[in-house]
Amino acid sequence: MVTAVSSGIKITVDTKYEHDYSSPANEQYFFIYNITIENTNDFPVKLLRREWFIIDSNGDKREVEGEGVVGEQPVIPPGSKYTYSSGCDFMTDFGSMSGSYLMKRLDAGLVFKAHIPRFYMLAPWRLN
């Protein structure tokens, strides 16, 4: 599990290898990541966009961006949390992701980035 705080937004990430959706013989490895976004500020925020930088152990890089997360643009009141799950596929059994969320202060209309810490996805056999 990885946790970081940026601009008053605490982001915690946990990952899991998905055997049922992976096929190592075909170089397909699928991972689920669960993210909790906690607003430690004293004002409400809205998550507008996300930007991801995805790198596998071959050095292949992808960039993904878009509105919200999992089809939502959640509003997170002060002291509250928002949790969601998503997934990522790789052609290797090891990879990483990092990025940022574009957030909006609902009290002042200001926009800022909350940085998502780099986290790693690793097939269980790589741990031995």
pLDDT at position 77 is: 98
> Does residue 13 fall inside a structural domain?
yes
> Which residues in the chain land under pLDDT 50?
none
CB 29 within 8 A of CB 91: yes
CATH number assigned to the domain comprising residue 53 = 2.60.40.1470
> Does residue 66 fall inside a structural domain?
yes
> Does residue 128 fall inside a structural domain?
no
Domain count, the chain: 1
Domain with 57 in it = 2-123
Cα dihedral across residues 86, 92, 95, 101: positive or negative: negative
> Does residue 101 fall inside a structural domain?
yes
Q: Please write the tens of the pLDDT for every residue from 67-77.
A: 999 999 999 99
